[in-house]
Structures are given as C-alpha cells and as structure tokens.
Structure 1
Amino acid sequence: MPTSLRNALTNPVAADADEDEPQRAGIQSVEVGFELLNALSEAPGALMLRDLAAAAGMSAAKAHRYLVSFQRMGLVVQDPVSTRYDLGPAALRLGLASLSRIDAVKLARERVDSLINETGHTLAIAVWGNQGPTMVHWIEAPQTVPVTLRLGDVMPLLTSATGRCFAAFMGSEGRDAQRIGPMVRDELARLKKLPRSGVPLVDVPHSLADVQALLDETRRHGLARVVHSLLPGVGGFCAPVFDAQGRLALGLVVLGSVATLDTEWSGPPARAVLQCARQLSADLGHRPPSPGP
C-alpha cells in the first residue's frame, strides 16, 4: 500500500491538513509579481524597467518575465517610444469595479467598534446631507456622559467639530461646496444674536476673519476640534475621510465630556480618530498629494 494512502487511512485529520496546506501557503510567484503592480500604483507615472524592478525589489531580468505576462493580460502596458511601463486597462477595470462596490459608511461602521475600544468615548459618522453635515451613525461609549444628539441631526458649521471638518475639507467644487460660504455667513449672523446670559460658549468665531483662522487651523492639524463651543463641557474631534477622487466622503467623530476626553491636538483620541480616518481614506482609494519641496 502506498505510504500516502496508508497515512490517510490511519490519520484522516492529518491527511486533510496536508491537502489544505498548499491552499494556505498560496502561490508565491503571484505574490512576487504583485510587487511590480504595487510599485506602479504608487509611482507618480510610468517607469523604466530598471526603476520598476528596483522599486519592487527584484532584478530587471526577473521583473521583465513578469511584465511580459502582465502585458498579455492587459494589467501592464509599455510605451513603444519611451519603453516605460505603466498600469494597463485591465488594472483600471479591476480598480473601478472595486471602487464601485465600496460603501464608505458601511466601511466606517465596521471600524467603529475597535475605535470605541481604543478611545473609550462616543463615536459618530456624519455625511453631507441636504441641509448640511448630518449624523448617520452614533454609538455611545459605556460610562460616558450622554450627549443630546440624535441620528439625522444637522450639525452647525462653526460650532461643531463635524461642521468645521466639512467646511474646511469640502473643497470648492460642486453645488454643495458652493453653499458653504452663504451658510457660514448665515450662521455667523445667528451667533451674533445669541444672548450673552447663561453658561458662555467659547471657541466661537464672531467674524469671517475668525472663521478663516479656524479653518486654517483645522487644515493644518488635519482634523477639526471643538471645546465648549457646541455644548458647555463637551469637546470633540472630527477627521475627514476622502474617496478615490479626493472628495470628502464622511467625517469620523469622537466626542465626550472635557472632564474625561483629552482635547489636545496631539492627544490619544485625536491621534486615534485621525489614523482611522486616514486608513479609511486609503481603503477607499484615496492617495494624499505628495508634500511640496
């Protein structure tokens, strides 16, 4: 009786494991070849063979063999004049198909549980709705001070971290972006009419110059912050999540009582929500612009 058959009869569990092992191990040549595609996706443009091979960590001869196959599949094209390689139409189709199936809010909701464990504070997701930044998902952390906000609430542009995030990162193109200017002026007018009695709110802009300074600060830190400006005793951050076209897809919010929430720009809650937002942006296909010289 052959050894392999005898082992299968005497130890079927081990035999099943042996059969599964090649599948778990994968195909190394596919993984190696992917490094070339990954290098092309991260490059600012088409690459010469030697530069592409170096970026993928392999010899030019080895890279060339993979590239011949990738060209046949349409994953890579080579310019006949410059001889440079770039991503081909099949790579584009794969990318577009993947992007069309991504739901930004669903993807963000999948990250909320781990983020709430990391921060220990209430988390929310906001998108731009018909009336402005709108809360579409909300999870209160255990043992935190309840905040009287509800799903569907539209957040103010100037006194909420969510509104400031959208005002700072929405961009200037599109009908919604063009609405921000008039909305800011209307909100400034309402703030000036607020009574001065009661618990005063701080960190509230009172002029267009104040608004510009606030938005500049938000862009400089990469996320928005409020402390006592939406509600007395409440602070929060909102980090932008961008899609593959660089458009603001949603805002990821962490908020809580200033007695327990670290409201420093460099504090753990700010770092956690910003890192999560950046990873979500990358998962949506966003590539941040390269820093200037």
Structure 2
Amino acid sequence: EYSRELKQTIINGMGEQQINILKWNLNNNYKIDVEFLAPKIPYRETITKVANAMYRHKKQSGGAGQFGEVHLIVEPIVEGVETTAKFKIDGKETQLNVKAKEEFELPWGGKWEFLNCVVGGAIDASFMPAIKKGITQRLEEGPLTGSYARDIRVFVYDGKMHPVDSKEIAFIIAGRNAFREAFKNAAPKILEPIYMVEVMVPGDCMGDVMSDLQNRRGMIEGMNSEKGFQILRARVPLAELYKYSTTLSSLTSGRATFTQEFIEYQQVPADVQEKLLKAYEAEQQEED
C-alpha cells in the first residue's frame, strides 16, 4: 500500500521472516530487485508559543508582475483555552479585530484556525482564500521535517496589495512563506506516535524484556500475572518498535507474544528532535 504521507510503499507482514520470504520470492521467482527499507515514522509538527512574521512576494519579468505581502501571527491551539487575540506587534500591545474565523479539522489529526483581522482594506477579502491555500500547503509539508503540522491558530492582520500585480498566486506564495517563518519562530516541536505495547512473557524473562523496553524509551505502565505468564504494559514510541518481534523472540526463545496499539502523539525529547532535524536537512541536500 502506497503512503502519500510517508512517500513509501508499505508492506505489512506477520513478522520479519514473512517479509524475508516475500523479498526472496520477488528476487528469485520474479527477478525483481526491490530495496527494502525501514518504514518512515508519521511524525507531526506543532508550535508552543506565539510568533509573527511577514513576507513580501514580488516578481517582475518584463510583462505582468506578481505582488503580495502578508503579515500574520501564529498561536498554539490549546484544548479548552480561547484566544484573546491580543498580541505585542512592533513592541506595542495590540488588540486584533477578528472579522472572520474559520476552523478546520485536519485529516491527519488535530485542527487549525484561520482568522481574518485585516482592517482598512490592506488586503482585499478576495485574496484571503489564496492566503489560506498557501498556509494549507505548508501544513501538509511542515517547515521542520516535511511532516504534517497541526493545532495552530493563524491571524492575518496586515499586508499590502498592488493595483495591477496582485494576483492569487502572489498571495498563495506570500501566505505560505509568512507562515513558514512564523512557525520556525514559535518554538516548534516534533510530535511522535506513542503505542501501548502489551507483552505476555514467561516470568524468567521478565527482567530482560523490561530492560529492553526501557532502552527503547518505553514507560512501564503496569504488570500483572495470567496463566503462568507475566503481562507487561508499556508506552513506547513507534520509532523504537522496528523489528521488536525479532528482538522479543530472541530474548525469550520464542516464548513471548505482544500486541501494540496507537494511543497518542507526544513531543519527542530534545536530542531526538535535533537528530530528526539534521537527518531531514541532509535528505534535502541530497535531493538538491
């Protein structure tokens, strides 16, 4: 199954052995040389503080030009907390006048809000959909690692137009780039999927299995006994579960079983975020 988000074709199997058999069949029976890689992790991106930015898109090349300027503020959406729409702009406390507000549930989880606070006709209302489109494009490819972004409130409060050169494309670009700059200034964080892992393990292997889960950044949630086995429950990042079935089998001589179920997204530790940022930067340089 092809994942548009991860840009990979994902093959699911009951274990590593089944995947190896499939790979052998493709190579030997069908003469197809396929590169097998670890599945990418569906990270998310968000912000943790308020920030503002502006971007001016100006292009002139002989004929008709392009011009659009957008000033905006980003704010994290916190469940149960309403915005005051009051911010410090150019060193001055400013109460924004919200003319229109739209809220969007995102297909990848979370939501975002778009608020038009432009006064005095600085940007014509007809260009608001273009600005919104530019921001949506950047939400689909987050500024940090290209992952989906979520839980962000955007206030568009000022800008500039040109009587001839202002077009939809100019405000798409200006909106997209202003959002990117504000996002990067808003203490952005990468979120990772967390799974609840339940392991049924013989008592004599309990220590090794628990130690391995903790080495995978797992947080032990509880333990109990059932039919002569120990049941261990832990919250573990998906990024640390690759080939876990093989390791578990090795630790227990094939006597343990486990299940995993997605529960939530949470911020990655600072050192993990730094590694992800460097890896993405290197990937972008390779593509260039």
* TM, length-normalised to structure 2: 0.25
Q: Based on CA coordinates, which of the two structures has the bigger radius of gyration? A: 1
Higher helix share: 1
Higher strand share: 2
